[in-house]
Amino acid sequence: MAPGQAPAVALQPTAVPSATTHLATKHTLEDLVNELTSAQPSDRRRAIWELAQRGHSGTVQSLANGLLTADSQEKSLILAALTEISSRGLKPLHQALALALQDPSPEVRKNAIRDLSRLYDNLIQLSHLVAHATEDPHPDVQDTAQSALEQLNQLRPPPLSHRLSSPSVPQIPI
């Protein structure tokens, strides 16, 4: 692990399925969402893990609601699950925005920029919280926050003079 990076949270079930049991087909999404409020921590953790594996965006709110009552291990699992589900959803969005930013229609490009700005605004709001975390009493939190801020600072566009000297619009890989 590099300095300043948070350890990855492994999404592992608390019980290993037998060769004859396949967890992914054992429960419906509704069953798994209901298990998020189970009295048994092992059931909750298994449900979180399974929901992350399925990556269904319809479970995001239920997982997020679980943060209110979860213990620290479950909160870490929930955040990892939400990140997994969200990253799956962001890939098609990234592709769509990249295509739209290169579209021949100025209206489509303008709308893509507007939509990308909305995403960026959400990121800025969270970055303020990350900035506060650089003063956290725990050194690992400080280091991770500092590393995250360095990555977020890379989002800044190149200086305008550099952009003006570019002969054409660069193609964005998708």
117-151 pLDDT, tens digit per residue, is: 998 888 888 888 999 999 999 999 999 999 999 98
Asked if pLDDT for residue 5 goes beyond 90, the answer is no
Give the position of tokens 């769509």.
Answer: 96
The confidence band for 33, taking pLDDT boundaries of 50, 70 and 90, is: very high
Cβ(166)–Cβ(151) below 8 Å: no
pLDDT, mean over the chain: 81
The confidence band for 24, taking pLDDT boundaries of 50, 70 and 90, is: very low
pLDDT value, residue 171: 55
The confidence band for 170, taking pLDDT boundaries of 50, 70 and 90, is: low
Q: What contacts 129, CB < 8 A, 6 or more positions away?
A: none
Across the range 106-119, mean pLDDT stands at: 94
CA pair distance 88, 74, nearest whole angstrom: 21
**154 by DSSP, 3-state: which?**
coil
pLDDT value, residue 125: 87
